Chains A and B, each alone.
Chain A
């Protein structure tokens, strides 16, 4: 099992550009989520999904879109990048009845 994979590992964007962060898992987990991690602030939930076709907003959803067309994939789209979106982004997944989430290796995003 590859677990949770994320691409790219690093990305630099200019203000106003858009991009998609990819996340995939091969554990057949129903629940998937996206977090951002900023210094001293722990992990904050952006969006999550309880299954294919179902998504919902987390604590900090503004400026981000998600979709879940398959169980395996959960991409995160930045619509118009802003410097405030400079952060490390983690994707995570879990079984729906078990809260312990498995995390991907993260994507470090810098917006200039």
Chain B
């Protein structure tokens, strides 16, 4: 059975802090790993990673994948209150199927 585990479950930080979110996985037929941000409603796509060691960046967010150790990290630097959300990690296996982790809830206080 495919499994994706995220940690921590939740965290509270202050504006300006740096946040590191973890995602580990055990799946058959790994194709890619995706990160989503979920505020009040639908998840929105952030990154897709397919190769180890190559960092993807978008503004203050960055992510890296380690296919040998089967994990990914999402970093958020200089956090803002607008970064408050649930961050979801998902692994793509055969045929576009995504297996999601339970999510990490981030609260950024002013």
Residues A99 and B88 in contact in the complex (CB < 8 Å), given A45-B98, A106-B42: no
Contact among B43, B95, B103 for A103, CB-based, below 8 A:
B43
B87 to chain A, nearest CB (A): 11
Residue of B nearest to A101 (CB): B98
CB neighbours (8 Å) of B101 from chain A are: 42
Residue of B nearest to A90 (CB): B42
Provide 9 A-B residue pairs closer than 8 Å at the C-beta atoms, listed in order of the A residue. A35-B100, A40-B9, A40-B102, A45-B99, A94-B96, A100-B48, A101-B96, A101-B98, A106-B42
With an 8 Å Cβ cutoff, the count of chain B residues facing the other chain is 24
Contact surface of B with A, Cβ cutoff 8 Å: 4, 6, 9, 31-32, 34, 41-45, 48, 88, 90, 92, 95-103
Residue of A nearest to B4 (CB): A42
Cβ–Cβ contact A102 & B45, under 8 A: yes
A37 to chain B, nearest CB (A): 9
Cβ–Cβ contact B103 & A42, under 8 A: yes
Residue with the highest number of chain B CB atoms closer than 10 Å, among A43, A50, A103:
A43
Cβ–Cβ contact B48 & A99, under 8 A: yes
